[in-house]
Structure 1
C-alpha cells in the first residue's frame, strides 16, 4: 500500500465530507418532496440573508446556474411548499425579493441541526490558530472550486 501525502489525505477527506453532505441534502430533499436543487436554492437564500444581500430571481438563477424558466420552476415549487416568501422591494417596487420562510428554517434545523452541532463541537476543541488555518484552507478550497471553468 502506498503512503499518501498529508495534502492528498486532506483532499480525499474533504471529498468524503462533501459527498456525505450531498447525500444528507438529497435525503432531506426526498423526505420533504423537494428536488436537490430546491435545497441548494434554500441554502443560497439563507447565505444571502446572513450576508445582508438582496435575493432576486435573477440573483438566485445565477447562483444555481439555471436559466429563467428553471429558476421560476424552483421558486414556484418552494413557494408552493411554503418554504419561500416573496415580497416587493420597498426601495424598488419592480423587484421581488425572496427569503426562506421561518417554518422552512425550522425544518432544516430539525434535520441538519445535529450535524451542525456536532461540527461546531469539534471546532470548539481547536485553538485560535487551528481555527484560523481551517478557515484559510476552506476559503481557498472554495475559491479553487468556484473558479474551475
Structure 2
C-alpha cells in the first residue's frame, strides 16, 4: 500500500466514524422528538425499533429476545411491553403451534403515529438515495451492516463484563 493510500485510508476512517456518530446523534434527536410527542421513554423507542426491524426481516421478536436486544431484565421487559401495549404501540400475538410462544408486533395505531411523524423524512432520504447507483448502495449496505455487527459485538462484550 502506498503512503498516500495509507494516509487517505486513515483520513477516511476518521471521517466516516465522525459521520456515523453525527448521523447517529441526529437520528436520536428525531427519535427523541417522536418519543416526547407521544410520551415514550428512550427505552420504548429502542424497543419499537427492535420490533419493527425484526418484523421487516420476517422474524418477529419474543419478549425474551426483545429483552436481550435492548439489555433489559425479564421483569423490566414485561413492564415495557405492557406499557407499549396499553399505549397502542405494540401487540402480542400467538402465531406458533406452541400457544405459549408470544410474538411482538407493531400495533396499527402505533404504526400510524410513526408513519405520520416520519413521513416528511422519506422524500428527503429517497432523493439522496436516488443519486447513487444500485451497486454503490449495495456497497454502502455492506459497509453499514459490517459496522453495525462490529458495534453490536462490542456492546455484547461489554454486557458480559
Task: With the length of structure 2 as denominator, give the TM-score of the two structures.
Answer: 0.84
2:13 maps to 1:7: yes
RMSD (Å) for aligned C-alpha atoms = 1.7
Larger radius of gyration: 2
Could you say which residue in structure 2 is the equivalent of 1:117? 123
1:36 aligned partner: 42
In the alignment, the residues of structure 2 paired with residue 112 and residue 142 of structure 1 have an alpha-carbon distance, to the nearest angstrom, of 22
The structural deviation recorded for 1:113 is 2.1
* Structure 2 unpaired stretches of 5+: 1-9
- Deviation at 1:109? 1.2
Q: Which has the higher strand share?
A: 1
* Counterpart selection for 2:139 from 133, 138, 141: 133
* 1:108 paired to 2:114: yes
2:26: which partner in 1?
20
Superposition pairs of residues 59-138 of structure 1, within 5 angstroms: 59-138=65-144
Per-residue deviation, 1:90: 4.1
With 25-34 and 127-136 compared, the bigger mean Cα shift is at 127-136
Can you give the 5+ residue segments of structure 1 that lack an aligned partner in the other structure? none
C-alpha offsets along residues 18-51 of structure 1, whole Å, 9 cap, x if unaligned?
0011111111111101101111111111111111
TM-score (norm 1): 0.91
C-alpha separation between the residues in 2 aligned to 1:50 and 1:129?
A: 22
Q: Which residue of 1 aligns with 2:3?
A: none
State the alpha-carbon separation in 1 of the partners of residues 135 and 62 from structure 2: 38
Q: What does residue 61 of structure 2 align with?
A: 55
> Paired residues, what number?
147
